[in-house]
Chains A and B, each alone.
Chain A
Amino acid sequence: MEKSILIVDDSFSLRQTISIALKAAGYDVVEASDGREALKKLDGRKFNLVISDLNMPNMDGLDFVREMKQMTAYRFTPVIMVTTESGETFKQEGRAAGIRAWVHKPFQPAVLLDAVAKLVLP
């Protein structure tokens, strides 16, 4: 059975970019355009990993991750933050929220896939 990954990003082209790389590597992909929509996707189905942008309308990446970590079913689901933000303050906040890796845009697909392979749940 394919491992399922939730991609949360308000940019359609970024979702496509990440989706192409993940599907080519054999992952199943579910997409959401912001934190609020992503929370609706967390309906009990299993996600082996979540990849989220930081700056998004309606609900940003950090708020989304904090709410997600409150949900029993997703408490231990690893999260990779993919963002242009490079400020240390944000990284520290992300780390405190339970984010496991911080990937800077623009990234090489191989770099993201390497991070995914390291963190994805079996």
Chain B
Amino acid sequence: MLADRWWLGALVGLFIGGAFYLTCLPAPAPPPPPPDGLAALLHQVLPIWHGHVELARTQTQAAIDTLSARFAAINDRLGHSRQLSSEPREVRMQQLLHDADQQLATLAQALERILQSRQALQGKLEGLAAANDEIRQLALQNEQLAGQTGVSDLLSSEQSWQQLAQRAAANSRQIVLRTKAARQQIQAAVIAAAQLPDGADGVVENSRALIGQVLAGFGQAATALMATVDQMAAENRAVDQEVGEILVNLQFQDRIGQILEQLQGDIARLQASACEAALPSPQQWLAALEQTYTTPEQRQVHVGGGARLTPQAQVDFF
């Protein structure tokens, strides 16, 4: 009976051997699943979305880096400006004004002393002139008296002649006294006048030196102030440039917002389309996405380019 079933044993053996042979062979790669619409679409769209996210990330990073650097530069410049207008400089200016005030007060006192000496001398000279007038007057009276003692009057009355002689003698004594006093006044005036030029010369020299010092101090202060003003103006210009750069980089918010908004729109479109029976082809989808781009770098990303900012002319006039 077994002999009748020999073919069955051969068949089982063949089956086991074949199975053993098959398990020893390398497994063949599973065939790719037939691409359904969604998978094919994602295969093409996701790298572009990735590129746009990278573009937004790169632009954000670059703008923030630039803004940080500009703010740091402005901070440095403001610190420098604060140093330029710092307290020691103000204190030096106050000291300069105080010194100038004191020096000029000394000068004013010296000039006042000269003025007083001049007034004293003038008083002496006026007194001298008055004495001179009195002497001249007395001399004139004596001349008149001498005239009366002339031809007719001399012999007319002995009494009157004696009176005239007494008056002439009195006048002569007055003249002598006045002349003595005048001589003393002249000596005093000469002494005062002799003292005045020496003092005045010294005051003039000192005044010249003091005024020179004060002017030199103000000159140095003015030069320092001008240098500070120039530095402040240079700092102002530099800060203006930094602010200009900040204003440029703040505008990236608009670009980045636009890129992310378009990306959100495309994600929402895919979500809506995924529920539909027939998806558009990847080519149709990408063409529609490309229509939403506004910047050259988005178009670069779309064709597989890098997320690099394209320089372009800033203004076109029509």
Q: Which stretch from A34-42, A69-77, A80-88 is at the chain B interface?
A: A80-88
Known: A99-B318, A104-B314. A17 touches B258 (CB 8 A): no
From 233 to 252 in chain B, residues with beta carbon under 8 angstroms from any chain A beta carbon are 244, 247-252
A/B pair count, beta carbons within 8 Å: 77
Q: CA separation between A110 and B314, bound complex, in Å?
A: 11
Known: A13-B253, A85-B294. A106 touches B315 (CB 8 A): no
Interface string of A81-120 (1 = CB under 8 A from B): 0011111000100110001111111111111101100100
User: Does any Cβ of A come within 8 Å of B254's Cβ?
Assistant: yes
Q: How far is the CB of B307 from chain A (nearest CB, A)?
A: 15
User: Does any Cβ of B come within 8 Å of A30's Cβ?
Assistant: no
Does A104 lie within 8 Å of B315, measured CB to CB?
A: yes
Known: A55-B258, A85-B294, A86-B295. A106 touches B316 (CB 8 A): no
Known: A21-B247, A84-B295, A106-B248. A14 touches B315 (CB 8 A): no
Closest to A80 in B: B315
Known: A13-B250, A55-B294, A110-B244. A105 touches B255 (CB 8 A): yes
Does A91 lie within 8 Å of B251, measured CB to CB?
A: no
Partner of B255, one of A54, A101, A106: A106
Closest to A10 in B: B254
Closest to A99 in B: B318
From 35 to 59 in chain A, residues with beta carbon under 8 angstroms from any chain B beta carbon are 54-55
Return chain B residues, CB-CB under 8 Å to A84. Answer: 254-255, 258, 294-295
Q: How far is the CB of B74 from chain A (nearest CB, A)?
A: 14
Does A103 lie within 8 Å of B315, measured CB to CB?
A: yes
Known: A84-B258, A84-B295. A111 touches B251 (CB 8 A): no
Q: CA separation between A104 and B317, bound complex, in Å?
A: 12
User: Does any Cβ of A come within 8 Å of B157's Cβ?
Assistant: no
User: Does any Cβ of A come within 8 Å of B305's Cβ?
Assistant: no
Count residues of B near A (Cβ-Cβ below 8 Å). 22
Q: How far is the CB of A44 from chain B (nearest CB, A)?
A: 27
Does A107 lie within 8 Å of B257, measured CB to CB?
A: no
Closest to B310 in A: A86
User: Does any Cβ of A come within 8 Å of B296's Cβ?
Assistant: yes
Partner of A101, one of B244, B254, B294, B316: B316
Partner of B249, one of A101, A102, A106: A106
Does A106 lie within 8 Å of B318, measured CB to CB?
A: no
Closest to A94 in B: B318
Q: CA separation between A13 and B244, bound complex, in Å?
A: 14
B251, B255, B312: which has the most chain A beta carbons within 10 Å?
B251
User: Does any Cβ of A come within 8 Å of B313's Cβ?
Assistant: yes
Does B312 lie within 8 Å of A86, measured CB to CB?
A: yes
B-binding residues in A (CB < 8 A): 11, 13-14, 16-17, 20-21, 54-55, 83-87, 91, 94-95, 99-112, 114-115, 118
6 further A-B contacts with Cβ under 8 Å, apart from A86-B312, A91-B316, A114-B315, are A17-B247, A55-B258, A104-B312, A106-B255, A108-B314, A112-B315
List 29 contacting pairs A-B, 8 Å CB cutoff, sorted by A.
A11-B257, A13-B250, A13-B253, A17-B251, A20-B247, A54-B294, A55-B294, A84-B254, A84-B295, A85-B294, A85-B295, A86-B296, A86-B312, A91-B316, A95-B318, A100-B318, A101-B315, A101-B318, A102-B315, A103-B314, A106-B248, A106-B249, A106-B252, A107-B248, A107-B251, A109-B244, A111-B314, A114-B315, A118-B317
